[in-house]
Amino acid sequence: MGSVKDLEVIQAPEKDSSGVGVFNFSDRYSVFDWGEMPDTIPHKGAATAILGAFFFEKIEKLGIETHYMGLLENNVPNKLKDITTPSNLMMIDMVNVHQPVIKNDIYNYSVYKKLTGNFLIPLEIIYRNTLPAGSSVFKRLSRGELKFSDLGLNSEPQPDTKLAVPFIDFSTKLEITDRYIPQLEAQEISDMDNFEIDILADIALKINEIISSEYSKINAVNLDGKIETAFNTKRKIMLVDVLGTLDECRFELNGLHLSKEVARIYYRNSDWYHETERAKEKDRQNWKKECKLQPEPLPARFRDLLSFMYCKVTNEITEKQWFDVPMTLNEITKEIKTYIK
């Protein structure tokens, strides 16, 4: 079980052969690496699964490998055009996941030097088009972990700075608290050669372009997003997990957030969030045990607005009315803003 989706293993992958699994996209949500939050967002799971399927099918047409097999209806995987009712179940190819070994707060990734293929690449690849308020980039700049020049800038950026060229960022995927790392370290821990890391960055840029183009049709701006990847049995990079959704990306519509970011912004004003920040500073590995507060549930109306947001975006991007939503996107984002002042 993950924070927001569960995995049923139909056939486990072996050393040299892939397996088969089913993602069950739940209505749970997670912010700030906390895991499952105290309430759920109605229909979020199905809306996310359908939107993810839409982007997988569009990307496959470009010749990019994915682990997507189809959405389940009547226990059979189907392409999106053949699905008649919303489904939150996605069948996927499965690869092996190899956990790095941790000792004295240091992760050892030497296991990856023995692998040839059929495994999850232990990275998240982030593309950044804009630096919205709350972006981790600002903290990293203040700590000296990034320089302005890394972002193609000549001076300190302000919130909502648009980058002339998308910035590709890397973070760890399998650590207790994931951390941003330079490209050279990303290449080293996953044991990728120069050609492979360049392909990975190029795929991220292509995905960015596709997502930006699709969301521009509803006048939304693609601020940033992430992808996850694996090597298939032939050591060819393929896209895994899900992409292009409101959980994996941040969008804006008329200057208002259109993504899970609105839940993050809501909780940033809470005592619980400040306590998580303190706990992470004190103990990066065991911060959740150190945290003395629990998150409060969302206001009921705010939760309903988040549900409308997920469902309406899926309807608009796929151009099919999967869900009944009583508001327009402009109306939804405008009312959401009243909760995140």
What predicted TM-score, i.e. pTM, was given to this entire model?
0.92
What is the predicted pLDDT for the residue at 28? 94
| Chain segment 108-144, per-residue pLDDT in tens | 999 999 999 999 999 999 999 999 887 899 999 999 9
CA distance linking residue 264 with residue 318, whole number of Å: 26
* pLDDT tens by residue, 199-238: 999 999 999 999 999 999 999 999 999 999 999 999 999 9
Contact at 8 Å (CB) between 225 and 250?
A: yes
pLDDT at 1: 57
Compute the distance between CA of residue 301 and CA of residue 286 in angstroms, rounded to an integer.
Answer: 34
Please report which confidence band the pLDDT of residue 24 belongs to, taking 50, 70 and 90 as the band edges: very high
> What is the distance between the alpha carbons of residues 244 and 120, in angstroms, rounded to a whole number?
19
pLDDT for position 176: 84
Radius of gyration of the chain (CA): 20
Kindly give the interhelix angle for 329-337 and 300-318, rounded to the nearest 10 degrees: 150
Alpha carbons within 13 A on the beta-carbon side of 156: 7
How far apart, in Å, are the Cα atoms of 263 and each of 22, 172, 304?
A: 27, 23, 12
Tokens of 202: 């190029």
Res. 4 pLDDT band, cuts 50 70 90: confident
pLDDT digits (tens, 9 = 90+) for 52-93: 999 999 999 999 999 999 999 999 999 999 999 999 999 999
pLDDT band of 259, cuts 50, 70, 90: very high
CATH topology of domain 5-337: D-amino Acid Aminotransferase; Chain A, domain 1 (3.30.470)
Q: pLDDT for 262-289, tens place per residue?
A: 999 999 999 999 999 999 988 877 898 9
Tally of CB atoms within 10 A around 174: 17
For residue 331, what are the CA distances in angstroms to 131, 222, 297, 326?
A: 25, 20, 23, 10
Where do the structural domains in the chain lie, given as residue ranges?
Answer: 5-337
Predicted confidence at residue 341, as pLDDT, reads 73
